[in-house]
A and B are shown apart, each in its own frame.
Chain A
């Protein structure tokens, strides 16, 4: 069993422009922001991003790295509308596959189960069908004869997620009340990269937490990155909550100025700049 620990830079070095990238978390909650920041330091671009969108999408959009987005929403939660995402959309900056939250989940499940699609009732009658002319329907072969949306598998080249703890082999642990869909993202991708607050010995994983928290299994994981505060400024329960003050700074500072102040250096420089800001 191999040691899969690597740096965020090593993760990004395995990503290529034009890839389809899944990003875990939800809105402004437990986003793999350290990995996103590493991505912003690279020249990887032209991405198809699959995300329950938050500042991960906002930052990649602001930096012009997105060719196409697959999402049901983009929000900062406490600030309902993501300013950089909004600006990008209002400039027609990239292609969008806008689907419902549940359709999105079915798309992940289809990919995780190696199915081309899964039938879902959501979407019928809504303009999701109008804005996604490629979406097809499927009719039940049983006597009910109901017509469903055939939600296509959201298969990804790579998934980026951030969890509370992981071991060096890639067993990832979600300690907060909601695992979101991070295990599904890992299962739906050809390669999965898991950053975590702390790498611990395998035996430590179940010492203080229930085995149900061990959602990410090592056979899906390519790389493990220890990234303390690596979800900042999104929340990472129970280790820390959202940094609301910093999120406000992010949302109200022009992108170029924000990037110059916080994203010009490496992750350590970012964390130092954040500490000096507060």
Chain B
């Protein structure tokens, strides 16, 4: 689609569909902390806060709770942040170096953990996040290297692992995975990953080729929704006027 902004007409970019898809993760979440990791989820969280989810809490990425304009409204050092996680009043969107069909996620290392082929970040807070508050994922480049049959190290707990620990995993929920190609969820009988929407311009074939496991695909796959004119204005003029989003996802 195209949208009039001022005198020019600028088509909605892939990065902007990604922002919308990320923002939707926080729709209806109420008065919880939105913890976006990565640029596009950050723009998405602030967009949600400025439009359909005004009660969301946001941080400055450090120890302060801030309004979208930067006004400090609270203090959240790491120690309190970790306590907030276990209290459950949070929805985090993490990155994933690998993710499998049941939503197990890896950011620790590639290869054998004892002596990895490629050391990455470490498990960070993925175990505590996934057992305590809704955890969504953002993957800026959808490929078979990321969407794998089996992750090398389970950092974020997926649905099959959660099912094996029903008491400990009673707060486990993975609302969505957003990639540069589409939106995915686990709304299938066995909680395996399902294609929920395709970003406009992306084909089902493309997604299948970039995914190393069998995706559940409904008979009719909707398109990721269009941004409203106001959302486009906020993204382009208020939240990311420098257009940094295009560096995370090209068109």
Binding site for B on A (CB under 8 A): 26, 53, 71-75, 80-81, 85-86, 89-92, 98-103, 105, 120-128, 130-131, 144-148, 176-181, 184
Residue in A85, A91, A125 whose CB lies within 8 Å of B168: A125
Contact partners of B113 in chain A: CB under 8 A: 98, 127, 130-131
Given contacts A126-B157, A181-B78, contact A98 B63 (CB under 8 A): no
Bitwise, B7-18 to A at CB < 8 A (1) or not (0) is 000000000000
Residue in A86, A122, A144 whose CB lies within 8 Å of B131: A122
Given contacts A102-B85, A121-B86, contact A81 B168 (CB under 8 A): no
Say whether B82 contacts A90, CB under 8 Å: no
Residue in B119, B122, B167 whose CB lies within 8 Å of A72: B122
Contact partners of B127 in chain A: CB under 8 A: 100, 102-103, 122-126, 128
Say whether B79 contacts A147, CB under 8 Å: no
In the assembled complex, the CB of A27 is this many whole angstroms from the nearest CB of chain B, namely: 10
| Residue on A nearest B109 in the bound complex, by CB | A89
| Residue on B nearest A86 in the bound complex, by CB | B119
Say whether B82 contacts A102, CB under 8 Å: yes
| Residue on A nearest B117 in the bound complex, by CB | A90
B165 within 8 A of A: yes
Bitwise, B123-162 to A at CB < 8 A (1) or not (0) is 1111110111000000000000000000001111100011
Whole-angstrom CA separation of A164 from B77 in the bound complex: 17
10 pairs, CB–CB < 8 Å, chain A vs chain B: A71-B122, A90-B118, A100-B128, A124-B131, A125-B130, A125-B161, A125-B162, A127-B153, A145-B167, A177-B75
Whole-angstrom CA separation of A120 from B172 in the bound complex: 15
Whole-angstrom CA separation of A53 from B79 in the bound complex: 16
In the assembled complex, the CB of A181 is this many whole angstroms from the nearest CB of chain B, namely: 6
In the assembled complex, the CB of B224 is this many whole angstroms from the nearest CB of chain A, namely: 28
In the assembled complex, the CB of A6 is this many whole angstroms from the nearest CB of chain B, namely: 29
Contact partners of A92 in chain B: CB under 8 A: 114-115
Say whether B77 contacts A177, CB under 8 Å: yes
Say whether A121 contacts B75, CB under 8 Å: no
In the assembled complex, the CB of B74 is this many whole angstroms from the nearest CB of chain A, namely: 11
Q: Closest 7 interchain pairs by CB?
A: A122-B128, A73-B122, A92-B115, A102-B128, A177-B63, A178-B63, A124-B168
Contact partners of B63 in chain A: CB under 8 A: 176-178
B216 within 8 A of A: no
Say whether B132 contacts A121, CB under 8 Å: yes
| Residue on B nearest A126 in the bound complex, by CB | B127
Say whether A126 contacts B119, CB under 8 Å: no
New A-B pairs, 7, CB < 8 Å, besides A102-B85, A121-B128: A26-B78, A124-B168, A125-B161, A125-B165, A145-B167, A146-B167, A180-B78
Most chain A Cβ neighbours within 10 Å, of B127, B131, B165: B127
In the assembled complex, the CB of A124 is this many whole angstroms from the nearest CB of chain B, namely: 4
In the assembled complex, the CB of B73 is this many whole angstroms from the nearest CB of chain A, namely: 14
Whole-angstrom CA separation of A86 from B119 in the bound complex: 5
| Residue on A nearest B64 in the bound complex, by CB | A177
In the assembled complex, the CB of A54 is this many whole angstroms from the nearest CB of chain B, namely: 12
Say whether A72 contacts B123, CB under 8 Å: yes
Whole-angstrom CA separation of A127 from B157 in the bound complex: 9
Contact partners of B125 in chain A: CB under 8 A: 72, 100-102
Given contacts A90-B117, A103-B127, contact A178 B167 (CB under 8 A): no
Contact partners of B120 in chain A: CB under 8 A: 81
Whole-angstrom CA separation of A103 from B128 in the bound complex: 8
In the assembled complex, the CB of B10 is this many whole angstroms from the nearest CB of chain A, namely: 32
Say whether B157 contacts A91, CB under 8 Å: no
In the assembled complex, the CB of A23 is this many whole angstroms from the nearest CB of chain B, namely: 15
Say whether B62 contacts A122, CB under 8 Å: no
Say whether A89 contacts B116, CB under 8 Å: yes
Whole-angstrom CA separation of A261 from B131 in the bound complex: 46
Say whether B115 contacts A91, CB under 8 Å: yes
B242 within 8 A of A: no
Say whether B78 contacts A178, CB under 8 Å: yes
Whole-angstrom CA separation of A74 from B120 in the bound complex: 9
Say whether B124 contacts A73, CB under 8 Å: yes
Say whether B77 contacts A81, CB under 8 Å: no
In the assembled complex, the CB of B21 is this many whole angstroms from the nearest CB of chain A, namely: 23
Whole-angstrom CA separation of A100 from B86 in the bound complex: 13
Contact partners of B249 in chain A: CB under 8 A: none
In the assembled complex, the CB of B189 is this many whole angstroms from the nearest CB of chain A, namely: 20
Whole-angstrom CA separation of A99 from B82 in the bound complex: 14
Contact partners of B86 in chain A: CB under 8 A: 102, 121-122
Bitwise, B58-85 to A at CB < 8 A (1) or not (0) is 0000111000000000010111001001
